[in-house]
Amino acid sequence: MWPQPFFDALRDARRVLVAGAGGGFDVYAGLPLAFALMDAGRTVHLASLSIVHLHGLDRDVWIEPGIAAVTAATGGPDDYFPERTLARWLARHRLPDTVYAFPRTGVRPLRSAYRRLARRLGLDAIILVDGGTDLLLRGDEAALGTPVEDATSLAAVAGTPVPARLVASIGFGIDAYHGVNHVQVLENIAALDRAGAFLGAFTVPSQSTVAARYRAAVADAQAATPARPSLVNGQIAAALTGAAGDVELAGRTPGMSLFVNPLMTMYFTFDLAGLAARHLYLDAIRDTDDLLDVSHRIDRFRDTVTPRPRRAYPH
């Protein structure tokens, strides 16, 4: 058997934070990894860059500046609250039900929050998870998808000193809906491999208990949030049943065509520092305080580059 560098990097990690890079349901994309690590005896915590108005929550939810500890008992909006939806599912399945939620901020306050949480939990590792491939785009691609939250999280964790900092991307192909050219994603992965930052890819086995628990959590989230279901996790969950092609999913817009396929069940994994080092505008957003400033700086950066031409997959 050959080594798996991603799991080798976690060999000595006993306390691991699995964090969603983007807002909303990205934390769900980390659940298969979280369940596998729990089953291996690791202490696993979950976190999310939230798009909910967290400052409307009760004061006792705030355990540190910029960190809300959301549990099954937390109040808040009934129509859309992914972190609490997940916490309630975890509680019903007798799993630790705290999901740490970060407000939507720029890099500087988010980095401070990650550092506080790392100290509070005594973290050995942070796995930043992206549902899709936006996080793997360096900035000169034909389109960047929805990069603001992902880039903010990447820059924040890059500045958080823990022994192991890793990236896991699942849902290859999903971001075509946002204009991402996945040939360029593959080019980026190849470049990261040459730089020693690509830690390999592996599939979540569809017949495993890990996959079954993930599908159950996603189905619960879809039922709890019928007006805003996660199309990303819906496609990954569908792929984990062996579905393929233009499957019927809640949350589709009229005329939208899907291409669910087995590649969506694969985690592509990376050394976070290596990924950050190849990023072209990360330095420009490191001192931001809010996401609007992050967005403006990305736009200004895009004005300075000639995007790589879009290419069709040749096979």
Q: What is the SS3 assignment for 215? A: helix
Does the pLDDT at position 3 exceed 80? no
Distance CA 78, CA 84 (A): 10
**33-47, 146-160, 221-235: range with lowest mean pLDDT:** 221-235
Q: What is the SS3 assignment for 68? A: strand
Distance CA 150, CA 165 (A): 15
Distance CA 71, CA 18 (A): 16
User: Residues 11-65: pLDDT tens digits?
Assistant: 999 999 999 998 789 999 999 999 999 999 999 999 999 999 998 999 999 999 9
Average of pLDDT values for 150-175?
97
The pLDDT of residue 177 is 87
The pLDDT of residue 97 is 95
Task: Return the ∠ at Cα 117 (arms to 27 and 70), rounded to 5°.
Answer: 50
User: Residues 58-110: pLDDT tens digits?
Assistant: 999 999 999 999 999 999 998 999 999 999 999 999 999 999 999 999 999 99
User: Residues 280-291: pLDDT tens digits?
Assistant: 999 999 999 999
CB 119 within 8 A of CB 63: no
Residue 180, CA distances (Å) to 45, 80, 161, 162 in order: 31, 27, 31, 31
Other Cβ atoms within 10 Å of 226 Cβ, number: 10
The pLDDT of residue 313 is 87
Token pair recorded at residue 87: 């916490």
Sheet of 99-102, strand order? 62-64, 67-70, 99-102, 43-49, 15-20, 125-131, 164-170, 266-271, 198-203
Amino acid at 258: L
Residue 315, CA distances (Å) to 81, 143, 183, 232, 312 in order: 41, 22, 11, 25, 9
Other Cβ atoms within 10 Å of 224 Cβ, number: 18
Does the pLDDT at position 251 exceed 90? no
The pLDDT of residue 220 is 97
What backbone torsions phi and psi does residue 198 show, to the nearest 5 degrees? -85, 120
Task: Return the ∠ at Cα 287 (arms to 152 and 81), rounded to 5°.
Answer: 35
Does the pLDDT at position 183 exceed 70? yes
172 pLDDT tier (thresholds 50, 70, 90): very high
Q: What is the SS3 assignment for 38? A: helix
Does the pLDDT at position 1 exceed 70? no
**SS3 breakdown of the chain: % helix, strand, coil, rounded to 5?**
45, 15, 40
Is the pTM of the predicted complex or chain greater than 0.85?
yes
The H-assigned helical ranges of the chain are 5-9, 31-39, 82-92, 107-121, 147-158, 182-194, 209-224, 231-239, 272-277, 282-285, 291-302
| Kind of pairing between the strands at 43-49 and 15-20 | parallel
The pLDDT of residue 314 is 86
Average of pLDDT values for 274-300?
98
User: Residues 121-147: pLDDT tens digits?
Assistant: 999 999 999 999 999 999 999 999 999
DSSP 27: G
Q: Percentage of the chain surpassing pLDDT 90?
A: 91
What is the Rg, in whole angstroms, of the alpha carbon atoms belonging to the chain? 18
